[in-house]
Structure 1
Amino acid sequence: MWNVRKAAVIGAGVMGSAIAAHLANAGIPCLLLDLEGLAAKGLERLKDTRPSPLYDPSFQVRIKAGDLDRDLAELSECDWVIEAVSEKLDVKHSVWKRIDSVWKPGMIVSSNTSGLSINEIASVCGEECRRHAMVTHFFNPPRYMKLLEIVPCRDTVPEAVSSVARFCRDRLGKGVVIAKDTPNFIANRIGTYSILATLRAMEKHGLTVDEVDAVTGPLLGRPKSATFRTLDLVGLDTFLHVCRNVRESVTDPLEAEAFAAPAIIEELVSRGWLGEKSGCGFYRKNKEEKSKDRIQVLDLSTMDYRPRQRISSPALEAAKMASGISGKAQALLEAADRDRLAGFARDVLEATLCYSAEKLGEIADTVMEIDQAMRWGFNWEEGPFETWDALGVSATAVKLEERGIAVPVPVAAMLAKESETFYVRKAGSLFHYSQGHYKFVEERPEEISLRSLRDRGRTIFAADGARLIDVGDDVACLEFHSPHNAIGPGVLSAIRQASEEVDRNWRGLVLANEGRNFCVGANLMLLLMEAENGEWEEIDLIIREFQQSMKSLRVMPRPVVAAPHRMTLGGGVEACLPADRVLFSAETYFGLVETGVGLIPAGGGCMTAAVMAQERAEAAGIDDVTSPITQLFETIALAKISDSGYHAKRLGYWRAGDAAVIREESRIAEAKTAVLELDRRGYAVPDANRLVKVGGREAATVLKLAVSSMRRSGYITDHDVRIAGKLAVALTGGDLPAGAEVPEDYLLELEREAFLSLCAEPLTQARMRQMLATGKPLRN
């Protein structure tokens, strides 16, 4: 079984350095080679790159910079060599000849090209090297973009392809698709065509940049960057290069014409307006503007920048109100004959769906590979064939014919066989259309899909905002499904119900879900409404229920493992902290952020922080908890959020046994395994009445002195001082002697009282309103 004990990346540019960084993220020693001095500069650049290519800065020690001429022989020590030099065939040939000269049996050699032919690249190598050659196209930035396209050449042995695919999936956490050696492979081929179709439809309907981006973002299941912000991020010169690569490589003159360079983009490139990297493109920041909206948009009729405009129409408003991507698309299509923005949307959708179907079999064998490529590489919520199914394949084909548009051959062939959808679910199993028949989507034992389990009837109970699911081996998973997975009364009730159910009938509990984020915190809107109405008893009841729900997780006589992912904030963190173990997704942004809205954690977060400080003092063999509580105080008071699961450790949130999981799809299965491991060891029932050793008045004084110093320096406001003072009391136990032992409920009472008093503050309510309105904190 192929393994990578050491890897090498040749080319220390932005992409090569970032690939090396992600190999280091996965624990793989990596040699980064370039011309003399360039690799060292590439490594140095990693430190300043934002967002960081590394999960943790310490991982950079796994990368060794070298000189391609001097250190070429070291490649023979590597199991995987990745070429990431410039997209020029002659430059790649020069590098591949050198690799071939030191190639050893078992070594995989791959190119990170975004669209050049691997057959042409590897043509300068010997047969054995070609048998282990392929494209591994990482999408940029490699740490954050899930897609990895693998493209074998004619001579590549299947075992090499499957080995690399398995390794990239399991160790690097990638979403792997196998593409064919065609221009720009899958994602860039479809994505570039879709953007070009958008520009053609824009000209046809006479739309502005604002109008196009208002339609081609979330309303069509695309990212908020929509069309023109995406182009600016990619780089307009880069986009022209991608267009040219397809145009010069395809044999169909009509397809070549479809990839002709848009005149407006050529004009902007000639002016040096390349997008984000040059400071302006279709958008720019007005540095003179001091208001919140500094972004200006290009007016194509004058070629001057102007303020952005709010775009609206009856069709757009109807689409915004519709449920789901298919509902939004249907709303736009229904209005296409009477609303020019909806008509534009129809043209873009139809062109993209038809082109994707026409390329089936040419750029990839299956609809799933194309859909996955677009979801993972371009962040579409649905791939083109998933969209065909959502809109109705037969109904869409009829509408195309009515409008004089030819139905793509693969679609017509499928319908002729009386097959109505590209995807079929039977008895909870998924099948997808491939070359005239349906292919079973094999489920991997190390992956658990909650959606698939729900389809199979494995729901134990469903409540308002959460459900409990049987994930096998007598383990249950509590899945939040409230809006944004926020914690409200329904979720709290489900937590208590799940604790009772698992205690009686199951070996343990996993806390996890498959939402966009694990949990963005408590229901802030509900809390603000109660505060503005002066419903203090109601708020007190809510906080008590929150604390008791979290305590029910902590004291449950069964193991609990939390598996958070992406945004895990405030109450979401407090739901994880009672668990026996936390398995962070590598991309977990974890933090108690209540001070950002003028509050402190009150769902057990402060109490748990005090417990963690005590445990760390005991582990260090000291009696004084001041040092560990100071770190946690700073983390919570400044509302720090980890920028990875690993970073949560440096913020003080990890405990013994916690870990991070790179492969997102394995997260829930890993958590289940951890539950079973804890159960097999003989799970000790938690002490429901444990005592906590606190820092007392001495530690509180230290914390408050630090706050006073920050206020004198102008770093914080008077209201920040008030919040931090209450946080210091809640974390240290307040006016008690150092080392005093108190029951948990004593600390819970302190945090609840502080929370209630802060809720009554007008400045806190202003912060809450600002966060709800803009998503950004208010400093007042």
Structure 2
Amino acid sequence: MGSGIACHFANIGVEVLLLDILPKEPSDKEKAKGLTMEHPLVRNRIATENLTMALKSKPSPIYNQKFASRITTGNLEDDVKKLGEVDWIIEVVVERLDIKQAVFEKIEQYRKSGTLITSNTSGIPIKFMNKGRSEDFRAHFAVTHFFNPPRYLKLFEVVPGPDCKQDVVDFLMNYGEKFLGKTAVLAKDTPAFIGNRIGIFGIQSLFHQVKELGLTVEEVDKLTGPVIGRPKSATFRTVDVVGLDTLVHVANGLYENCPNDEAHDLFKLPDFIATMMENKWLGSKTGQGFYKKVKNEDGKSEILVLDLDTMEYRSKKKTNFPTLELTKTIDKPIDRFKVLVGGKDKAAEFYRKNFAALFAYVQNRIPEISDELYRIDDAMKAGFGWENGPFEIWNAIGVAKGIELMKAENLAVTDWVSEMLEKGINSFYTVKDGATYYYDIEAKAHIKKPGQDAFIILDNIRKSNEVWKNSGVVIEDLGDGILNCEFQSKMNTLGGDVIAGLNKAIDLAEKDFDGLVIGNQAANFSVGANLAMIFMMAIEQEYDELNFAIKLFQNTMMRMRYSSIPVISAPHGMTLGGGCELSLHADKIVAAAETYIGLVEFGVGVIPGGGGSKEMALRASDIFRKNDVELNVLQEYFLTIGMAKVSTSAYEAFDLGIMQQGKDVVVVNKDRQLAEAKKYARIMADAGYTKPIERKNVKVLGKQALGMFLVGTDSMKAGHYISEHDQKIANKLAYVMAGGDLSEPSLVSEEYLLDLEREAFLSLCTERKTLERIQHMLKTGKPLRN
């Protein structure tokens, strides 16, 4: 955890000193090298090994491996004096009060006055950790609870100590949100704070319900996964990943430290959990938990599931519930909840019991763990990956309906909820003038949720600010003369409606506005072109229509690039194929740090056909320098496409040549992304944006490059690194990026390269093996090597 936090601070450009304890003696490897306890490599081994292990883990804790140079390792004996030079000390030692107090004692000897000290504890009361510390220490001490892994989970709970200064709290909240890219949630010093208190209750409640309702592990995971806006790992798979022992540790802590909790008995572990703990079936770390991966008789891997009645592993069974079928046409989880609690099968019964218990519990946690209900929702969304928090779910079902569910389970309604309804207020949240308002218990009225001024929330402005829409796109006025084009197709694929919407957005922006942002707040920016449409055209041999569709996509990309207004792309999440090509043609990319962007068309048997192949040839041409080995430069861009490279963060996209230094920018907090994109569009417009001149001077290398590429693909095929069809695709790409079979290096236009690219794309769509690849991707979501 300490290494993960260190990596995330390095991610945002901070210099980090990572200290750990001294080893007791040199390891066998160190002894073999003649190293003694006096050697720095031995003395710093624990911190160094932990960091190395973290950097090798997947998913990576760091945006770019180069950023690891910002972290220096050391030990708590030799380097503790360096604490006098730092601005912020974060303690991440084991959850034992005596060890924490010993570390704080040492810190106090060396820290300078005014240095921030925070603990990553998940539950030890601050008054115990603070004991015996100086006034200045206590004034600058708080808990900053990161969720693991720190890079990916957004929750950052800030828990001030009793003597902590307000400006320290304000700094931590602002820094967490603005710089660390987190959802900073102010919590009280109560057991497990907010996230784990509610999250562990939810899991424990479900543990007790599973036997009562006769549900299986796989059924529960089906019911508590993406269908209700939770991660794919749902409940039991998540416990396997986190570790059953971790969950048990927190649950036991709550059982011991919350004797007056009305759900106290729920934190007591059911028998099947006790058996799993005895057997050390802790999940992924021990090779088995609720799930177990084995080799079957055919030698193929199979995932078995634990039968909670027999406590033996068995093959997974298919799960099917009529109530879930009713939600298949409902895109957003928030709109499904009413349907889910209204069914007549076991699934609906599960949801009614589960949500009733959750609503009853969270209503009673105010003001115990938080004075404001929105903090509970924020914590669950950011820490547990819920798309909607408990009060948002209750709101969607209806406050009165939620009470009905609770009463059916003999659960009492708290006074503040009853009072709210008596006053005629029947919702926890409302939206006014593009801002979210929450019900404040003390004020007995809706109050504007703080911190929204830095955000643009499309859900809040879509209806009031809509300028134009079709089935694939909504165009919104962001204010200050800037439009936004929001994709709304499935997975934000780029089909005919989206392309029409993009062209309409450019029309509108050029006529009545000053700039255009292309951004959305779905899980992913865009997974690329509408493959199903391409497959149908190709299988029906409608090549004229397919040619027209590709030409239209290319023309739209070029229209974006050469429009009279600045166009900003705001990619995040998966930005693949056509989504990447769109970003390549924007005036500026304002990317979320968690952007996984790349040209992946090789995986479906084609080359980038929406200007991506052309653009990579153009970018290579732009960095050719006198006396350069130009072939080497072009080869790097060729390999980016040919190996279907996808960045693991926006920062890696710079290394791939997809994002450009000095032009494109990264936003660590995705919630701020659209506001930042709008800001850059406004700045470019105010600076006197001029329509670019179309390029007719792209240097291509002709036969010289084509020959090198063909020899390379031939060698790869001979060495069995690629298939015959892989070679065919690579040779088509080589022809495009070389500028064709030209006898010498020449200057060509973008249009010339686009024609080559489109011709290559179309010819590959006539290949049976390409159609097999597209079909396999549509069926399985995975690439086929044939």
What's the TM-score, normalizing by structure 1? 0.95
More off after superposition, 564-573 vs 625-634: 625-634
**Aligned counterpart, 2:707:** 701
Contact 2:334 2:388 in 1 (8 A): no
1:332 aligned onto 2:332: no
> Cα distance, 1:424 vs. partner?
1.7
Q: How does 1:264-343 map to 2 (within 5 A)?
A: 264-288=272-296, 294-335=302-343, 338-343=344-349
Mark the CA change 1:197 to 1:320 in structure 2 (over 3 Å): closer, same or farther.
farther
Select which of 192, 203, 217 maps to 2:200: 192
Give 2:372's aligned amino acid: T
Mark the CA change 1:538 to 1:668 in structure 2 (over 3 Å): closer, same or farther.
same
Give 2:782's aligned amino acid: K
1:84 aligned onto 2:89: no
1:83-107 Cα deviation digits (max 9, x unpaired): 0000111111111111222232321
**Aligned counterpart, 1:485:** 492
1:508 aligned onto 2:494: no
**Aligned counterpart, 2:397:** 391
Contact 1:145 1:376 in 2 (8 A): yes
Select which of 608, 614, 622 maps to 1:615: 622
In structure 2, C-alpha distance between the alignment counterparts of 1:401 and 1:446, rounded to whole Å: 41
In structure 1, C-alpha distance between the alignment counterparts of 2:587 and 2:665, rounded to whole Å: 12
Number of residue equivalences: 761
Give 1:476's aligned amino acid: L
Mark the CA change 1:194 to 1:722 in structure 2 (over 3 Å): closer, same or farther.
same
**Aligned counterpart, 2:504:** 497
More off after superposition, 284-293 vs 174-183: 284-293
Give 2:577's aligned amino acid: G
1:679 aligned onto 2:685: yes
Secondary structure in structure 2 of the residue aligned to 1:584: strand
**Aligned counterpart, 2:190:** 182
Q: How does 1:108-257 map to 2 (within 5 A)?
A: 108-252=116-260, 254-257=262-265
Give 2:16's aligned amino acid: C
> Cα distance, 1:254 vs. partner?
4.5
More off after superposition, 341-350 vs 277-286: 341-350
> Cα distance, 1:673 vs. partner?
2.5
Select which of 558, 582, 586 maps to 2:589: 582
> Cα distance, 1:767 vs. partner?
0.9
Mark the CA change 1:221 to 1:678 in structure 2 (over 3 Å): closer, same or farther.
closer
More off after superposition, 676-685 vs 184-193: 676-685
> Cα distance, 1:292 vs. partner?
7.2
Contact 1:553 1:560 in 2 (8 A): yes
1:34 aligned onto 2:20: yes
1:148-206 Cα deviation digits (max 9, x unpaired): 11111211122111111101111111111011111111111111111111111111011
Contact 1:521 1:571 in 2 (8 A): yes
**Aligned counterpart, 1:9:** none
In structure 2, C-alpha distance between the alignment counterparts of 1:253 and 1:494, rounded to whole Å: 53
**Aligned counterpart, 1:666:** 672
Select which of 698, 714, 734 maps to 2:720: 714
1:570-626 Cα deviation digits (max 9, x unpaired): 000111111122122111000000010011100011111111011111xx3357642
**Aligned counterpart, 1:354:** 360
In structure 1, C-alpha distance between the alignment counterparts of 2:385 and 2:458, rounded to whole Å: 21
**Aligned counterpart, 1:5:** none
Give 1:414's aligned amino acid: M
Select which of 350, 362, 371 maps to 1:365: 371
Contact 2:217 2:306 in 1 (8 A): yes
> Cα distance, 1:453 vs. partner?
3.0
Contact 1:477 1:509 in 2 (8 A): yes
**Aligned counterpart, 1:649:** 654
More off after superposition, 535-544 vs 467-476: 467-476
Contact 2:337 2:396 in 1 (8 A): no
1:629-681 Cα deviation digits (max 9, x unpaired): 21111111111100000111112212241222212122222222322333344
Give 1:536's aligned amino acid: Y
Give 1:647's aligned amino acid: E
In structure 2, C-alpha distance between the alignment counterparts of 1:425 and 1:501, rounded to whole Å: 27
More off after superposition, 54-63 vs 465-474: 465-474
**Aligned counterpart, 1:8:** none
Mark the CA change 1:450 to 1:324 in structure 2 (over 3 Å): closer, same or farther.
closer
Secondary structure in structure 1 of the residue aligned to 2:130: helix
**Aligned counterpart, 2:5:** 19
> Cα distance, 1:689 vs. partner?
5.1
1:382 aligned onto 2:368: no
> Cα distance, 1:445 vs. partner?
4.2
Select which of 64, 69, 74 maps to 2:77: 69
Secondary structure in structure 1 of the residue aligned to 2:650: coil
In structure 2, C-alpha distance between the alignment counterparts of 1:443 and 1:35, rounded to whole Å: 40
Select which of 729, 732, 747 maps to 1:726: 732
In structure 2, C-alpha distance between the alignment counterparts of 1:563 and 1:135, rounded to whole Å: 34
**Aligned counterpart, 1:418:** 424
Secondary structure in structure 1 of the residue aligned to 2:263: helix
Mark the CA change 1:738 to 1:584 in structure 2 (over 3 Å): closer, same or farther.
farther
Give 1:137's aligned amino acid: H
In structure 1, C-alpha distance between the alignment counterparts of 2:238 and 2:579, rounded to whole Å: 31
More off after superposition, 479-488 vs 121-130: 121-130
Mark the CA change 1:384 to 1:75 in structure 2 (over 3 Å): closer, same or farther.
same
Contact 1:247 1:255 in 2 (8 A): no
> Cα distance, 1:706 vs. partner?
1.6
Mark the CA change 1:275 to 1:402 in structure 2 (over 3 Å): closer, same or farther.
closer
Contact 1:96 1:124 in 2 (8 A): no
1:95 aligned onto 2:103: yes
Mark the CA change 1:434 to 1:568 in structure 2 (over 3 Å): closer, same or farther.
same
Contact 1:557 1:684 in 2 (8 A): yes
Mark the CA change 1:220 to 1:668 in structure 2 (over 3 Å): closer, same or farther.
closer
**Aligned counterpart, 1:474:** 481
> Cα distance, 1:415 vs. partner?
1.7
Q: How does 1:521-560 map to 2 (within 5 A)?
A: 521-560=528-567
In structure 1, C-alpha distance between the alignment counterparts of 2:589 and 2:408, rounded to whole Å: 56
> Cα distance, 1:426 vs. partner?
2.5
**Aligned counterpart, 1:628:** 633
Contact 1:495 1:549 in 2 (8 A): yes
> Cα distance, 1:360 vs. partner?
1.8
Mark the CA change 1:611 to 1:291 in structure 2 (over 3 Å): closer, same or farther.
farther
Identity over aligned pairs, percent? 41
1:38-79 Cα deviation digits (max 9, x unpaired): 112122223311111110011111111111111111112111
In structure 2, C-alpha distance between the alignment counterparts of 1:118 and 1:769, rounded to whole Å: 58
Cα-Cα RMSD = 1.8
Unaligned ranges ≥5, structure 2: 23-44
More off after superposition, 23-32 vs 391-400: 391-400
In structure 1, C-alpha distance between the alignment counterparts of 2:158 and 2:695, rounded to whole Å: 55
1:638 aligned onto 2:643: yes
Mark the CA change 1:443 to 1:109 in structure 2 (over 3 Å): closer, same or farther.
closer
More off after superposition, 373-382 vs 245-254: 245-254
In structure 2, C-alpha distance between the alignment counterparts of 1:776 and 1:308, rounded to whole Å: 22
**Aligned counterpart, 1:519:** 526
In structure 2, C-alpha distance between the alignment counterparts of 1:535 and 1:236, rounded to whole Å: 55
Give 1:21's aligned amino acid: C
Contact 1:389 1:422 in 2 (8 A): yes
More off after superposition, 25-34 vs 496-505: 496-505
> Cα distance, 1:685 vs. partner?
2.2
Contact 1:624 1:695 in 2 (8 A): no
**Aligned counterpart, 1:761:** 767
